[in-house]
């Protein structure tokens, strides 16, 4: 008679043994390896490792499937040979092909990420301290038992993979440059326009100077001629009413007193205009400088004529020569100035 021993899972855990009625007629229970085994005297259980009968030798039973082994065989093979009872092999550490922080590839020979500097040892597989469940880098809680992890983030760490930076539009920069150029051209254009206006204003002031000098010069010429006439009468006319040269000159000045007052007032205005015309615009140019030089010559000639007529000195001959020369020079200088202003 043959039997097979099954464990609680229904797996065969030992060999067939037989029962011979002629010798005993009953089954003989025997404790082998801590389990109750029905043994027949002739045929016994065999060790799954060596295939030899267990007999009365010291045995060891697998705690998972219940298979019986010789104690020496159990120790020699390091446990049960049943594939279902083999211990689970620990998962090998995953070789990191890319940095979990920035996604850059890295070599096993390097200890730090070449892009973000993250240490490779910070990415080594971690396990929950409560249940041993493997953890991912940066995981805050265990997915199996819910225990809070003790991981410390990498110093200065940021999300594992940074999204590519969004390219900024160059349109605002271009608009800013265009605006700056326009403002620059506007400023330069405004400056030139201002200077052009200043030149026109300068010419207008020079024209006013010319007009005042012509009017005052004409009056000086009239007074000077009257003085010359009285002086001539005193010298060459025996019936002259003037008793001396001084009385002859004073008489001419009294007769032209109002004209002399106008001449002095015009000369004061002419002085102010002259001082203003000495200050040239920044963008003066050759034309403005020529006008300025002509104004200087006209003002000097007018001053000589003014001194000769208003402050009479010398004798008849020197007065006559000086008056004629200064009058000619003043007229010539004013005509030159007028020619420049008409261009």
The CATH number linked to 303 is 1.20.1420
- When pLDDT is cut at 50, 70 and 90, the band that residue 283 belongs to is low
Residue 282 has pLDDT above 60, yes or no: yes
Q: How far apart are CA 273 and CA 293, in angstroms?
A: 14
Kind and range of the H or E run holding 190: helix 171-236
Query: Looking at the domain assignment, is residue 160 inside a domain?
Result: no
Domain membership flag for residue 188: no
DSSP, collapsed to helix, strand or coil, labels residue 281 as coil
Same domain, 29 and 117: no
Compute the distance between CA of residue 161 and CA of residue 198 in angstroms, rounded to an integer.
66
Q: What is the pLDDT of residue 44?
A: 59
Mean pLDDT, range 331-336, rounded to an integer = 96
Distance (Å, whole) CA 142 – CA 133: 7
Residue with tokens 């070449």: 114
- How many Å apart are CA 274 and CA 47, to the nearest integer? 136
Q: Based on the fold, state whether residues 229 and 321 are members of the same structural domain.
A: yes
> By C-alpha distance, which of 224, 244, 249 is closest to 331?
224
CATH of the domain at 27: 3.30.40
Is there a contact between 17 and 25 (Cβ–Cβ < 8 Å)?
no
pLDDT at 49: 80
Residue 59 neighbours by CB distance under 10 Å: 22
pLDDT at position 152: 53
| DSSP helix/strand/coil, 335 | helix
76 part of a folded domain: yes
Most confident listed range (126-140, 278-292, 299-313): 299-313
pLDDT in tens, 90-122: 554 444 467 766 777 767 777 788 888 878 776
Question: What are the CA-CA distances from residue 309 to residues 20, 220, 274 (Å)?
Answer: 176, 7, 21
In which residue are the tokens 């008849």 written? 316
Q: Are residues 211 and 303 located together in one domain of the fold?
A: yes
Q: Is residue 130 part of a domain?
A: yes
Strands 17-18, 35-39: parallel, antiparallel or unpaired by DSSP?
Answer: unpaired
State pLDDT tens for residues 303-329.
Answer: 999 999 999 999 999 999 999 999 999
Provide mean pLDDT across the span 9-28.
44
Residues 223 and 108 grouped into a single domain:
no
End-to-end CA distance of the chain: 147
Cα distance between residue 183 and residue 97, in whole Å = 55
Which token pair is 139? 């995981």
Q: Which domain holds residue 242?
A: 198-342
Residues 104 and 226 in one domain: no
Number of domains in the chain: 3
d(CA 28, CA 38): 6
**pLDDT for 64-89, tens place per residue?**
787 888 888 888 888 887 877 766 65
Are 297 and 232 in a shared domain? yes
Task: For residues 209 and 318, state if they share a domain.
Answer: yes
CA gap 44, 14 in Å, rounded: 10
């Amino acid at each position: 008679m043959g039997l097979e021993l099954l464990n609680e899972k229904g797996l065969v855990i030992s060999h067939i043994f037989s029962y011979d009625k002629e010798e005993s007629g009953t089954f003989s229970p025997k404790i082998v390896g801590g389990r109750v085994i029905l043994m027949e005297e002739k045929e016994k259980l065999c060790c799954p490792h060596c295939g030899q009968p267990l007999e009365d030798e010291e045995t060891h039973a697998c705690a998972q499937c219940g298979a019986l082994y010789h104690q020496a065989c159990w120790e020699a093979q390091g446990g049960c040979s049943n594939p279902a009872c083999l211990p689970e092999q620990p998962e090998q550490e995953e070789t990191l092909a890319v940095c979990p922080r920035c996604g850059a590839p890295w070599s096993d020979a390097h200890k730090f990420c070449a892009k973000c500097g993250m240490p490779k040892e910070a990415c080594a597989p971690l396990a929950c301290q409560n249940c041993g469940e493997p953890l991912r880098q940066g995981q805050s809680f265990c997915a199996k038992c819910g225990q809070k992890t003790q991981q410390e983030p990498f110093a200065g760490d940021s999300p594992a993979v940074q999204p590519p930076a969004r390219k900024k539009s160059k349109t605002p920069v271009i608009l800013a440059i265009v605006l700056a150029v326009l403002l620059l051209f506007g400023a330069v254009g405004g400056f030139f326009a201002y200077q052009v206006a200043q030149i026109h204003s300068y010419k207008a002031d020079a024209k006013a100077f010319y007009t005042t000098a012509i009017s005052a010069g004409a009056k000086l010429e009239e007074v000077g001629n009257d003085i010359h006439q009285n002086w001539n009468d005193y010298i060459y006319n025996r019936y002259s009413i003037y008793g001396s040269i001084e009385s002859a000159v004073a008489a001419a000045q009294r007769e032209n007193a109002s004209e002399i007052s106008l001449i002095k007032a015009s000369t004061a205005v002419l002085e102010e205009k002259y001082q203003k015309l000495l200050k040239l615009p920044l963008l003066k140019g050759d034309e403005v400088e020529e006008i300025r030089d002509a104004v200087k010559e006209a003002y000097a000639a007018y001053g000589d004529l003014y001194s000769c007529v208003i402050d009479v000195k010398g004798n008849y001959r020197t007065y006559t020569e000086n008056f004629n020369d200064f009058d000619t020079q003043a007229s010539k200088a004013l005509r030159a100035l007028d020619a420049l202003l008409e261009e």
